[in-house]
Structure 1
Amino acid sequence: MGEKKAYPLRISAEILAAMQRWADDELRSLNAQIEYVLRDALRKAGRLPQPGAGDAKEEQP
């Protein structure tokens, strides 16, 4: 995993409370739960680089 960066996040109290409940159910910290949800969404959307792909970009035909 790469370098961690701090990022201030403005989020509604309702969403934050729901995320906290979900984090508690999954035995994760709130921060870890938010990162998990974001990573899962990025993976499903094909927005994360493939493991082992490095920084090299493949040419498109």
Structure 2
Amino acid sequence: MTKRKSFPLRIDPKLYEVLEKWAEDEIRSVNAQIEVILKEAAKKAGRLKKE
């Protein structure tokens, strides 16, 4: 399994609610949902090689 980097994240409560619902809709944890969103944004920006 890939090693993960942990760090604290401060986030607006309203945004967290949106992420929580979105994650629930896709059967993921909020943490996993945030990672998916960030990976897609990094790929779109050309900062992460597409797998």
**TM-score normalised to structure 2 length:** 0.89
CA RMSD of aligned residues (A): 1.6
Q: Please tell me whether Structure 1 or Structure 2 has the larger radius of gyration of its CA atoms.
A: 1
Question: Where in structure 2 are the equivalents of 1:1-61 lying within 5 Å?
Answer: 2-49=2-49, 51=51
Distance 2:30 2:36 in 1: 10
**Structure 2 residue runs without a partner (length 5+):** none
One-letter amino acid matched to 1:13:
P
**How far is 1:3 from its partner?**
2.2
Number of residue pairs matched by the alignment = 51
Pick closer, same or farther for the CA change 1:46–1:2 going to 2, 3 Å.
farther
**How far is 1:49 from its partner?**
3.4
One-letter amino acid matched to 2:32:
A
Higher helix share: 2
1:3-47 CA-to-partner distances (Å, cap 9, x unmatched) read 201010000000000000000000011100000000000000000
Percent identity for Structure 1 against Structure 2: 47
Higher relative contact order (CA 8 A, sep 6+): 2
**How far is 1:2 from its partner?**
4.2
